[in-house]
Structure 1
Amino acid sequence: MIHFIGIKGSGMASLAEIVADLGETVTGSDIDKYIFTQKPLEERNIPIYPFDPKNIQENSTVIIGNAFGEDHPEVKQARSMPSVTCYRYHEYLGKLVGDYTSISVAGTHGKTTTTGLLAHVMQQIAPSGYLIGDGTGEMPKDSRYFVLESCEYQRHFLAYHPDYAIITNIELDHVDYYRDIEDYISAFEEFANQVKKGVVLFGDEENTRSLNLHVNHLFYGLHDQNDVQARNVVENSEGTSYDVYLHDSFFGSFKLPFVGKPFLWNSLGTIAVGIMEGISAEQLQDALASFPGVKRRFNIEVNGDNVYIDDYAHHPTAVRLTIEAARTRFPDKKLIAVFKPDRYSRIFYFMDEFAKAFDEADEVYLCHFPKNAAKEAGIDITIQDLADRMENVRVIQEDEEAASELAKRGPAVYLFMSSKDIYKFKNIVKSFQ
């Protein structure tokens, strides 16, 4: 039996689904509050219990979510039992990587979408498993490939030694752990150099270009110095088309049903991995064109004259690019941005960048920090500190009164952005329209 402490976490849920698909008996524990990640767990009949040391059974394997300290009652119980084998989430995942032709997706932004996109493509080529940071995972028993989202937080991705990797970008984040951008870059450099067969990297930025690489690699992007380059890009409300050149030689033409620079970059990184694996342009085009998207990444709902977009954006660069994509997709509509912060340190460190990122929205509504957000030492801010740096902004509660007022601001594109549960507030706003 394998027990997951914190099974509703997005990565933990994905891993639990994979382990269950491999035929293991899986149980888990977590808080009682409903979280969207639990649906695929329930579909697999995986029991989810409230936290209790009694959940830990003799002769079992316990996988500990990285959000839980050694003082957690279940963790303490598991560590105290000689017959129980314990792994942290990333440790167990690193063990699993070696069983397949594995492809890690790392980077500050775009990991989840790129992992979903790449997993979708590889499934069209051969049986493939995947672990996506939106709470979904799957592992057919005859899988050849394993595509996994790989997080750099606390250098956890150094537990993985994959065959291939994508590095989507490198822009300082997790400032509660990394000292500075040099420390952050060093983690990616170490990760890249432990990849076995080859790395593809976004080549349109300085930080990825600065890596000292000792492994086979390709740079991808729009600039001329890239090994895999997109040219003749056409983007409109219907989608994106472009030609791909490999070392200045034409590789193929692609037409894809999504918009925004992040999707363009992510698809190009996927194509670059496909090139390393010898996949034809025609196979890549067919697979990319049928990509349905992933949870909480620019998910669009239309209700009459109103549009609701749910996105995971929680870093200023991601916020800016998501707003740009919404403008491209719906150029003639009012754009209302609704944002809920996650970490105090992230808002504190990037305060001015966040304020500027919201400039292109017509109206901005800021929600308060979650009640369980950890206040890092030396940081004493509220969401009002961010609002004070902006125009056309209001700070609101996530309640029916605020939702009713927001609903009256339509018709509009309502862009909800957060790594937290902003989608619940979106549903309340929808109920008033």
Structure 2
Amino acid sequence: MDFFGGFNPKLLDGVKRLHFIGIGGSGMYPLVQILHSKGYQITGSDVNEGTIIDAERALGIAVHMSHQAENVLGADMVIYSAAIHSDNPELQEADARGIPTLERSVLLGYVSRLYPRSVCVAGTHGKTTTTSMITSMLELAGRDPAAVIGGKLPLIGGYGKAGKGGCIVIEACEYAETFLKLTPDIAVLLNIDNDHLDYYGTMGQLKFAFKKFALMATHTIVANADDEGVIQIINSIDRNVRTFGIQKGADYQAVNIREYKPGFYEFDVTEWEMPYAHLRLGAPGYHNIYNALAMVSCSRLLGLTPGDAEAAAQDFKGAGRRFEILGETSGVTIADDYAHHPTEVAATLSTAKKLGFKRVWAVHQPFTYSRTKALLDEFALVLRAADKVVLTPIMGSREVDDGSVKTADLAAKVPGSVEVAGLREAAEYIKSHAEPGDFVITLGCGDVYKAARMMLE
């Protein structure tokens, strides 16, 4: 097999028809869009109807509503996500018939090499927002980028797009070293925090994975000068680097930071100590200053102007499930956020507290037993920032409950918190106890957003 730089540039040679197992997933949809635009015949299967499947059918793609062995007949290659188990009947049929199978992240790596310029955004926090901001900057500048994003971006109406321009922007996930399948021209390093240690084991191993990702950059690394883990990596490799930051000297520095309304920031950006841009953020939160700095640091590298960055900063109001205001009912504002790590929960609640509401309610769904157990004290500390805390059962996801940690353990460390039996019960508790002028935000990367929707019904 002809491999180049550890990758196979002929991965889809001879392939005309691709079958996607779990085609309704947000991670699959941008790949489907891109490969459909490149002329590949695509089929797929899933178990739940949804807006993504509606959009795929509108492209003329046949989607089966069950996993059946016969669905793979006629396919030249079968694509599956990490959530699909080896006993899936379609995977087994493909194997029996000798049809090549490919995990989604490998295909994403191949797709990243179909465009002359790829921007891959990595970091424990802020990936979706920063990827969305960079995509917005290119889109508003008329560059028609391709994009693969972990959340919905209203500007493009989804989780990504095919794009006819020469650039692709990709959210580069560090879980299970997925981002090491990519080939970034520009590698953005936002931060490195103690997450996914169930996979990596130690912070040293996590940092080593980020270092390998950084070394894959073929053009430039864009790095957060204020993040200790990121700077450790940058100082240990020989690559072209551009830095951004607030506290320490950086190539792109935020200065004269001020709130133009509660929770919303504007600031000047200097480039090598010279005035470069003035950003007014359309999305709330101090943490978004860093995400916007990462975006503006890419502007010149992508042949864009400071004005393009300014327009994107003001236009971008947030991505789906990132401090997403869902609506108001009985005088109570309901929002949802993907925060599932103490650093993220702290940033989200800090933003919420600045918006001028009477009380802030946090409805938190702990995600995975290993993370909850390892970071129990940190979660308890940051959740206390809310005026009221409601805790749902832990969502185990890929993990089995060994009984060593329960929601009650977290509740015991958060004074005045309430533990409920499920999402419906969380919604009912809020309906009974929230008052006009209150702000309620659901927190977690599982399905806690369903509780927020129940509150609005």
What TM-score, normalized to structure 1?
0.93
The 10-residue stretch of structure 1 (391-400 or 182-191) with the greater mean CA deviation from structure 2:
391-400
Instruction: State yes or no: 1:44 paired with 2:59.
Output: yes
Deviations 1:168-226 (A, max 9, x none): 11112112210100000000001001111011111212100100222211121101322
**Aligned residue for 2:144?**
127
* Superposition pairs of residues 243-322 of structure 1, within 5 angstroms: 243-303=268-328, 305-322=331-348
**Aligned residue for 2:155?**
none
Deviation at 1:288, TM superposition (A): 2.4
CA contact (8 A) 1:228 1:244 kept: yes
**Aligned residue for 1:89?**
104
**Aligned residue for 2:442?**
416
Deviation at 1:260, TM superposition (A): 0.8
* Superposition pairs of residues 25-424 of structure 1, within 5 angstroms: 25-32=41-48, 37-46=52-61, 47-82=63-98, 84-100=99-115, 101-125=117-141, 126-134=143-151, 136-140=159-163, 142-211=164-233, 212-235=236-259, 236-237=261-262, 239-303=264-328, 305-328=331-354, 330-370=355-395, 374-375=399-400, 380-398=404-422, 400-408=424-432, 409-411=434-436, 412-424=438-450
The 10-residue stretch of structure 1 (128-137 or 197-206) with the greater mean CA deviation from structure 2:
128-137
Deviations 1:370-394 (A, max 9, x none): 3755227x66221111111111211
CA contact (8 A) 2:367 2:394 kept: yes
- The alignment's C-alpha RMSD in Å is 2.0
Deviations 1:259-310 (A, max 9, x none): 2122111111000011323422112112322124221111113425221111
Instruction: State yes or no: 1:7 paired with 2:23.
Output: yes
CA contact (8 A) 1:37 1:134 kept: no
Deviation at 1:359, TM superposition (A): 1.4
Query: Partners of 2:56 and 2:108 in 1: how far apart?
Result: 18
Deviation at 1:151, TM superposition (A): 0.8
Query: Partners of 2:206 and 2:453 in 1: how far apart?
Result: 37
Deviation at 1:43, TM superposition (A): 4.4
Deviation at 1:239, TM superposition (A): 2.6
CA contact (8 A) 1:193 1:215 kept: yes
What TM-score, normalized to structure 2?
0.88
Total equivalences in the alignment: 426
CA contact (8 A) 1:342 1:373 kept: no
Change (3 A) 1:133 1:39: farther
Deviation at 1:400, TM superposition (A): 4.6
The 10-residue stretch of structure 1 (298-307 or 158-167) with the greater mean CA deviation from structure 2:
298-307
Deviation at 1:25, TM superposition (A): 2.6
CA contact (8 A) 1:108 1:168 kept: yes
AA paired with 1:310? D
Deviations 1:53-75 (A, max 9, x none): 22112342211101224343322
CA contact (8 A) 1:267 1:288 kept: yes
Deviation at 1:39, TM superposition (A): 5.0
Query: Partners of 1:359 and 1:37 in 2: how far apart?
Result: 37
Deviations 1:342-399 (A, max 9, x none): 21111111111111111110000011123755227x6622111111111121111335
Change (3 A) 1:43 1:268: farther
Query: Partners of 2:270 and 2:230 in 1: how far apart?
Result: 20
Change (3 A) 1:338 1:373: farther
Query: Partners of 2:84 and 2:425 in 1: how far apart?
Result: 35
Mark the runs of 5 or more structure 2 residues left unpaired by the alignment: 1-16, 153-158
SS of the residue 1:4 aligns to: strand
AA paired with 1:387? A
SS of the residue 1:294 aligns to: coil
SS of the residue 2:151 aligns to: coil
CA contact (8 A) 1:11 1:134 kept: no
AA paired with 2:211? E
AA paired with 1:424? K
Change (3 A) 1:401 1:346: closer
Query: Partners of 1:335 and 1:277 in 2: how far apart?
Result: 40
Query: Partners of 2:318 and 2:76 in 1: how far apart?
Result: 36
Change (3 A) 1:18 1:371: same
SS of the residue 2:452 aligns to: helix
CA contact (8 A) 2:257 2:267 kept: yes
Deviation at 1:250, TM superposition (A): 1.5
AA paired with 1:216? N
Query: Partners of 1:240 and 1:334 in 2: how far apart?
Result: 22
CA contact (8 A) 2:223 2:244 kept: yes
CA contact (8 A) 1:17 1:40 kept: no
Query: Partners of 1:59 and 1:182 in 2: how far apart?
Result: 42
Q: Percent identity?
A: 29
CA contact (8 A) 1:407 1:430 kept: no
Query: Partners of 1:168 and 1:226 in 2: how far apart?
Result: 14
